[in-house]
């Protein structure tokens, strides 16, 4: 399989790597690019390699990170253990519930924005104030009209002003009623949106809880293998020791990541972005897959 991008290409054939970078071509079970002037970062290099199996895309693991890419800041050990267990076909009692929770979580989305209650409330206040002002205006004009009639004055101009004010008041009252109705509808939509958001959070929490339960079960299933693998990794890498069991994880996180890769059943090449990792050929033999090393992330 060949992958090309800019000046880097990687071919994986029958357990061997052929890496073309800049003007150089390197081959072998192990290719070390850490001192190469054009050495890519681990994530860039991982993008050139074959992607692993579907078991890596489960919610027990962070799909944004590659299981087979080792850096000084690896994913949490229990997530790595879960992936290793999945690669060996391990199942858990909560798999059906986990799948159901994942499906439910995907079905409920933020399809609509919450209604703008502030604008709706402001409109009710504005139209209400307009109604109050016009009611006062109408009341004043009625008083002037009554006074004009009682003093035998000409009420024509006052009557005209009153008629205009009455029409304006009717329109304002209509606007106020419409604003109040819009606010009522907006409040109902806001409640529905809030309820949907709470349901979404409950489903998300259920998914996280089931994933956590699955990780615990999966880690326990491979705990003994991981304990043995950490010892073997430590023997050949000159890194710190590590301890893994379902309840306690201590020691060097890179050692734990490599141990999970030892336990996993995968033919996927491993990218190593760790500067001080010693004896790459022995590591490749232990992992039983090709290893390509590159400069670590800054």
| pLDDT given for residue 239 in this prediction | 78
* Average of per-residue pLDDT values in the chain: 86
**Whether the predicted pLDDT of 111 surpasses 70:** no
| pLDDT given for residue 112 in this prediction | 67
**Whether the predicted pLDDT of 104 surpasses 70:** no
| pLDDT given for residue 186 in this prediction | 94
Q: What is the percentage of the chain residues whose pLDDT exceeds 90?
A: 42
Dump pLDDT digits (tens) for 187-213. Answer: 999 999 999 889 888 888 888 888 889
Dump pLDDT digits (tens) for 215-237. Answer: 899 999 999 999 999 999 998 88
Q: Rounded to 5 degrees, what angle do the CA atoms 220, 222, 224 make?
A: 90
Q: What is the mean pLDDT of residues 130-155?
A: 91
**Whether the predicted pLDDT of 244 surpasses 60:** yes
Q: Rounded to 5 degrees, what angle do the CA atoms 111, 117, 118 make?
A: 130
| C-alpha gyration radius of the chain | 35
pTM, full prediction = 0.72
**Whether the predicted pLDDT of 119 surpasses 80:** yes
Contacts of 128 (CB under 8 A, 6+ apart): 176, 179
Using 50, 70 and 90 to split pLDDT, how confident is the model at 110? low
By the 8 A CB rule, do 82 and 214 touch? yes
**Whether the predicted pLDDT of 62 surpasses 70:** no
């Amino acid at each position: 399989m060949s992958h090309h991008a800019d000046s880097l290409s990687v071919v994986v054939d029958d357990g061997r790597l052929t890496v073309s970078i800049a003007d150089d071509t390197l081959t072998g079970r192990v290719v070390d690019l850490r001192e190469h002037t054009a050495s890519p970062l681990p994530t860039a290099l991982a993008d050139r390699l074959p992607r692993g199996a579907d078991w890596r895309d489960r919610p027990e693991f962070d799909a944004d990170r590659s299981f087979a890419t080792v850096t000084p800041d690896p994913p949490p050990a229990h997530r790595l253990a879960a992936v290793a267990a999945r690669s060996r076909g391990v199942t858990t009692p909560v798999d059906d519930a986990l799948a159901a929770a994942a499906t439910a979580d995907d079905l409920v989305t933020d399809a609509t924005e919450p209604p703008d209650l502030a604008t709706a409330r402001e409109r009710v206040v504005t139209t209400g104030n307009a109604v109050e002002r016009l009611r006062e205006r109408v009341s004043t004009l009625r008083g002037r009209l009554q006074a004009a009639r009682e003093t035998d004055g000409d009420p024509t101009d006052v009557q005209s002003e009153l008629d205009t004010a009455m029409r304006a008041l009717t329109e304002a009252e209509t606007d106020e009623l419409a604003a109040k109705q819009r606010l009522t509808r907006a409040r109902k939509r806001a409640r529905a949106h809030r309820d949907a958001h709470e349901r979404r959070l409950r489903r998300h929490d259920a998914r996280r809880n089931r994933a956590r339960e699955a990780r615990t079960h999966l880690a326990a299933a491979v705990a003994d293998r991981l304990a043995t693998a950490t010892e073997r990794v430590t023997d050949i890498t000159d890194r710190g020791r590590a301890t893994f069991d379902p309840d306690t994880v201590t020691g060097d996180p890179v050692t734990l990541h490599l141990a999970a890769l030892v336990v996993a059943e995968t033919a996927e090449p491993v990218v190593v972005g760790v500067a001080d990792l010693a004896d790459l050929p022995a590591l490749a033999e232990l992992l039983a897959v090709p290893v390509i090393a590159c400069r670590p992330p800054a």
